[in-house]
Structure 1
């Protein structure tokens, strides 16, 4: 799997705060929210790269039930 690219991004503090609130509402990190918004903008412009992997959904990753973990059953 290819390593994810790292990027330094400078934002207006008010824009960062607004994105952070939106990310919190969607149960995403600020980084994941920015990637979500960029992907949506690419799709709207018809520029989604074919080789881009799908983005994981919001929230914490689900625990696979077939793995034997220490978590009690729900």
Structure 2
């Protein structure tokens, strides 16, 4: 079963984008995958996303 992805335009501060680019390079991910990873982790920590493996939370393609 394929994971549904939706496009979303993002306006982001240039310094934040540069930092995300460096971080994504370190993690061997695309910037898009890194942003999704960071958002998903923040949502999990805040209790706003079900744990990994549940039907409502499909695995993320982290670019590896």
Q: TM-score band (shorter)? A: 0.7 to 0.9
TM-score, normalised to structure 1, is 0.70
- Tell me: higher relative CO, structure 1 or 2? Use CA pairs within 8 A at least 6 residues apart: 2
TM-score, normalised to structure 2, is 0.80
Of structures 1 and 2, the larger Rg is shown by: 1
Unaligned runs of 5+ in 1: 60-74
CA RMSD of aligned residues (A): 1.6
Name the one with the larger helix percent: 2
Unaligned runs of 5+ in 2: none
Runs of 4+ in 1 over 2 A off after TM superposition: 56-59
